[in-house]
């Protein structure tokens, strides 16, 4: 049975992960953390997530529970994620990271940790989104040079980063297929008299409203036709189940930086 530590356990995704672990036959909750100073420290993690008593009490860090878990699942903030990696480096743990919004410098630090720690790092743990990335590369090869390309994404009002990490990953997949640098060709929003659209650009549009879990569409529009590849998530459980699937897969991997495409390329555990 895989023992899992959840960081940021009191957040929306943290609670969803605890629910998914309780429902899983292959994993169990071994440790759970909240921010230092949180009023929830010492509260039963299962009860906090509405899953009944678990016997696992919320802690303010990973260091004091190193013998209680095999893998860390981290959907927090870039700064917190890197601190968590620091605290378990060299301790024989594996890590699933769903945090988004890393700077280039922070990504370099993450890659450094991956030299000694098996890490799956993905902007989205949905199997459907992972498949969509593969479809987007095919569409870009066939239609990309002749199409205007736009990425439209929508999330709940509480999401702090924009565009979403998934939207950026989709844009990167298309840009790389076309031999473009996304940093150079991305356009984030339009306003005023901008003139005609440049064909080399990839546009991004962002919606933040209500309780939208996550919706992404990549549009390839040419003269006379358009192709839309869309993924809609109706429950965070799809991300939680994907993260657990990744955690089970990662136990047999050497140190390195992996993503969900590596995970779904292998038979489901």
- Provide CB contacts within 8 A for 260, sequence distance 6+: 120, 122, 124, 125, 127, 129, 130, 242, 246
User: Do 139 and 226 have their domain in common?
Assistant: yes
User: Do 223 and 246 have their domain in common?
Assistant: no
pLDDT one-digit tens code per residue, 1-38: 999 999 999 999 999 999 999 999 999 999 999 999 89
Q: Which of 78, 9, 81, 77 has the alpha carbon at shortest distance from 44?
A: 9
Asked if the structure places residue 207 within a domain, the reply is: yes
Q: Residue 101 — very low, low, confident or very high, per pLDDT cuts 50/70/90? A: confident
Active site residues: 155, 159
Query: How far, in Å, CA of 194 to CA of 187, rounded?
Result: 11
pLDDT one-digit tens code per residue, 134-159: 999 999 999 999 999 999 999 999 99
CA 189, 195, 197: angle at the middle one, nearest 5? Answer: 65
CATH code: domain of residue 193? 3.30.360.10
**72 near 32, Cβ under 8 Å?**
no
pLDDT one-digit tens code per residue, 201-242: 999 999 999 999 999 999 999 999 999 999 999 998 999 999
pTM (2 d.p.): 0.83
Both tokens of residue 41? 């420290």
Give the per-residue pLDDT at 154. Answer: 97
**41 near 60, Cβ under 8 Å?**
yes
Using the predicted structure, report yes or no on whether residue 269 has a pLDDT greater than 70.
no
Say if strands 71-74 and 118-121 run parallel, antiparallel, or are unpaired: unpaired
CA 16, 56, 96: angle at the middle one, nearest 5? Answer: 50
Domain that holds residue 32: 2-121+236-264
User: Do 195 and 109 have their domain in common?
Assistant: no
Using the predicted structure, report yes or no on whether residue 195 has a pLDDT greater than 90.
no
User: Do 102 and 133 have their domain in common?
Assistant: no
Burial of 170 (0-12, 13-18, 19+ CB in 10 A): buried
CATH code: domain of residue 103? 3.40.50.720
Mean per-residue pLDDT of the chain? 94
């Amino acid at each position: 049975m895989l023992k899992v530590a959840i960081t940021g356990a009191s957040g929306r995704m943290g609670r969803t992960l605890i629910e998914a672990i309780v429902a899983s036959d292959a994993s169990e909750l071994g440790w759970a953390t909240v921010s230092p100073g949180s009023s929830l420290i010492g509260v039963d993690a299962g009860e906090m997530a509405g899953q009944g008593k678990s016997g696992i009490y919320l802690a303010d860090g990973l260091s004091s529970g190193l013998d209680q878990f095999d893998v860390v699942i981290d959907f927090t903030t870039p700064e917190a994620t890197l601190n968590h990696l620091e605290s378990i480096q060299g301790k024989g743990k594996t890590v699933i990271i769903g945090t988004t919004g890393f700077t280039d410098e922070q990504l370099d630090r993450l890659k450094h940790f991956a030299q000694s720690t098996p890490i799956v790092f993905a902007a989205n743990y949905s199997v459907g989104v992972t498949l969509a990335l593969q479809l987007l590369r095919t569409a870009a090869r066939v239609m990309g040079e002749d199409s205007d390309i736009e990425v439209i994404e929508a999330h709940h009002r509480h999401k702090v980063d924009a565009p979403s990490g998934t939207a950026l990953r989709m844009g990167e997949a298309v840009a790389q297929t076309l031999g473009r640098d996304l940093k150079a060709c991305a356009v984030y929003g339009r306003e005023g008299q901008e003139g005609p659209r440049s064909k080399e650009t990839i546009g991004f549009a962002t919606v933040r409203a209500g309780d939208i879990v996550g919706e992404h569409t990549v549009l390839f529009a040419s003269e006379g036709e358009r192709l839309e590849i869309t993924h809609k998530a109706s429950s965070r459980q799809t991300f939680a189940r994907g993260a657990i699937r990744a955690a089970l897969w990662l136990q047999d991997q050497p140190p390195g930086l992996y993503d969900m495409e590596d995970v779904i390329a292998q038979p489901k555990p």
